[in-house]
Structures are given as C-alpha cells and as structure tokens.
C-alpha cells in the first residue's frame, strides 16, 4: 500500500513522525512492581488501554473468557481499547469488526484497522498503513527464509502467512516441534544479517523490511485518530504485553504492564515494564484490568 494512502488517512502523520525520536529519548529501564502498587491517581489518568494478544489475552492459543470479558468491561468503562499484535492483516479485519475494540494494530505495527460510525448506517472499516511498511514480496525476505530453513532444522512458515501483507512469520512454537528460544534468536540474527528487522514473539519470529514497530504505529494511531499528545499524555496509556516484541512499548509507556509469563524472557528483554501481574496470560490481563477499573471507581 502506498505512502499516499497512509498520509490520507493520517493527515498529521509527517508532524508526528518527526516528533517521535526526541520524545522517545525519555525511555528508562525500571524494575517491575506488582500491579497492586498502581495508585488511584495513576488509574484515574488512564484513557487508553493497549494490549498484545498472544499469551497476553490467550493461553495455549485460545482466547480466554476472562480476558474477553475484561475487554468488554474496559470498553463499557469508556476507555479506548486497542490490541497491538504481530498477527496478520486478515485477523485484524476480524478483530476490528467483531471485538469490543476501538481499532487494532497488526503485523507488529505495519497497519491499523478500525471502524468509523456513519450516521445511522453500519460502520465503515478504515485501514491505514505505516509509511515505512514494505510488502512482503521483498527479495530479502526470501533470502531470510532460505537461510533460516537451512540453518534451523524444524523451523517452518507460520500457517497464518497467507493473510499477511508486510511480514514473514516463522513459526518456532505455535505448533510442534517447539524449538528453544535460542533457535528463535538464531533466526532473528539471520534476518538482521540479511538487512531485515526481526522480532521474537512467544510463538513466531516476525521478519520485515522497513523501519517501524508496534510502538511507532501505536503512537501514530493514538495521535492521529484520538488526538493523543505524545509529550504530555504518556501516562494516559496502559499497555499490557508478555514477550520481547513488546519491548518498545514497555520502554515507552510509564504505566506499561506485563502478565507473569514475561519472566520466561527476562534475559531477552532489557526494558521491563513498570508493573507485572501475579497470574499468567489472560488471567494476568484480567488481574491488571481489574486493578485499573477498581482504582478508577
């Protein structure tokens, strides 16, 4: 998709992009506190809740009733709800249309889909693409796939690849055989040697060309769609995640949280979030949102 489309849908995109590097310089590494330490004053400032999907809302691949109910409660409380995922464009179409959300960011920041109301008619699905996103027929991704298959036995293309627009998803843990994280790190290194960007999630290594990530698209979407101010309103955003591909979000937002399974990746994540749940996966997400909503009431 062309830059023109992205600029049409995000009219303030250029200004926002130029503002980001300076704003990001404020990132700090910090130890994780129990989510129970979130204060009432912090909770009352929050307007936006963003969350990863795999192993943050799900457990062993299934969306838990506890986490889906938590999304509805957040929406009913008037918060802006936005999943931010490595999952493909095809899934994001469904999520934007069917889930209780205000939009979804997919393919690790390549795209954002959301519904817009039109008077008394059915809402219209809107799509925007990061201006740096490059379609996944780029020859470098072919080279990464070839080398990764040769050097990492057991690796395979993720079965959701057919519905992806911008990245190559290599499965190391969604299906058997489950490969160790060291093998995922090897795939990431191969991708980087070939000039691509790679992030390790709890199930895939996602590989793409173009300088964007979950954070850069989240900031564009928040500012252009909702008028969020990247300098003065950082503390209005809660992000919940679980794995290394969430690290840019952990580093940026002072109220970032993780579900307890983040501890599996502590050696791989340099910037841990401010808060952590006691429970893992979707139960941990419900624990975090329960604290947030209770302390706002």
Looking at the Cβ atoms of 166 and 285, the one nearer to Mg ion is 285
By CB under 5 A, tell whether 194 contacts Mg ion.
no
Looking at the Cβ atoms of 6 and 238, the one nearer to Mg ion is 238
Q: Which of 32, 48, 52, 283 binds Mg ion (CB under 5 A)?
A: 52
Least distance to Mg ion from the beta carbon of 166, Å?
18
Looking at the Cβ atoms of 16 and 202, the one nearer to Mg ion is 202
- Residue 276 dihedral angles phi and psi, to the nearest 5°: -140, 145
Q: Which part of the chain contacts Mg ion (CB under 5 A), choosing from 16-24, 102-110, 139-147, 241-249?
A: 241-249
Least distance to Mg ion from the beta carbon of 174, Å?
11
Site for Mg ion in 257-286 (CB under 5 A): none
Looking at the Cβ atoms of 52 and 183, the one nearer to Mg ion is 52
Q: Which of 55, 171, 183, 194 binds Mg ion (CB under 5 A)?
A: 55
Q: Which of 242, 247, 287, 291 binds Mg ion (CB under 5 A)?
A: 242
Looking at the Cβ atoms of 42 and 243, the one nearer to Mg ion is 243
Site for Mg ion in 94-113 (CB under 5 A): none
Q: Which of 16, 243, 261, 289 binds Mg ion (CB under 5 A)?
A: 243
By CB under 5 A, tell whether 171 contacts Mg ion.
no
Site for Mg ion in 201-220 (CB under 5 A): 202
- Residue 104 dihedral angles phi and psi, to the nearest 5°: -145, 140
Looking at the Cβ atoms of 59 and 145, the one nearer to Mg ion is 59
Burial label, 255 (beta-carbon count in 10 A; 0-12, 13-18, 19+): buried
Per CB under 5 A, residues contacting Mg ion are 52, 54-55, 202, 242-243
């Amino acid at each position: 998709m062309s830059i023109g489309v992205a600029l049409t849908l995000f009219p303030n995109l250029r200004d926002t992009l130029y503002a980001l590097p300076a704003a990001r310089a404020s990132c700090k590494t910090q130890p994780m506190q129990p989510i129970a330490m979130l204060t009432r004053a912090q909770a009352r400032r929050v307007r936006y809740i963003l969350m990863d999907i795999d192993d943050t809302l799900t457990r062993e691949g299934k969306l838990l009733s506890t986490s889906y109910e938590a999304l509805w409660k957040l929406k009913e409380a008037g918060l802006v709800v936005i999943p931010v995922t490595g999952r493909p464009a095809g899934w994001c179409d469904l999520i934007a249309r069917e889930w209780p959300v205000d939009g979804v960011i997919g393919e690790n920041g390549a795209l954002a889909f959301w519904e817009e109301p039109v008077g008394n008619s059915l809402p219209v699905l809107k799509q925007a693409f990061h201006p740096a996103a490059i379609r996944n027929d780029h020859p470098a991704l072919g080279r990464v796939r070839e080398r990764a298959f040769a050097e990492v036995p057991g690796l395979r293309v993720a079965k959701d690849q057919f519905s992806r627009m911008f990245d190559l998803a290599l499965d190391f843990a969604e299906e058997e055989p489950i490969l160790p994280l060291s093998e995922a790190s090897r795939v990431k290194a191969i991708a980087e040697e070939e000039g691509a960007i790679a992030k390790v999630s709890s199930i895939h290594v996602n590989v793409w060309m173009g300088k964007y990530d979950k954070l850069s698209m989240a900031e564009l979407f928040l500012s252009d769609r909702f008028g969020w101010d990247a300098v003065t309103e950082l503390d209005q955003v809660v992000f919940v995640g679980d794995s290394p591909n969430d690290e840019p979000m952990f580093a940026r937002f002072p109220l970032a949280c993780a579900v307890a399974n983040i501890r599996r990746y502590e050696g791989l994540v340099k910037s841990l979030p401010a808060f952590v749940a006691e429970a893992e996966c979707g139960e941990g997400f419900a624990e975090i949102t329960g604290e947030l909503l209770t302390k706002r009431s």
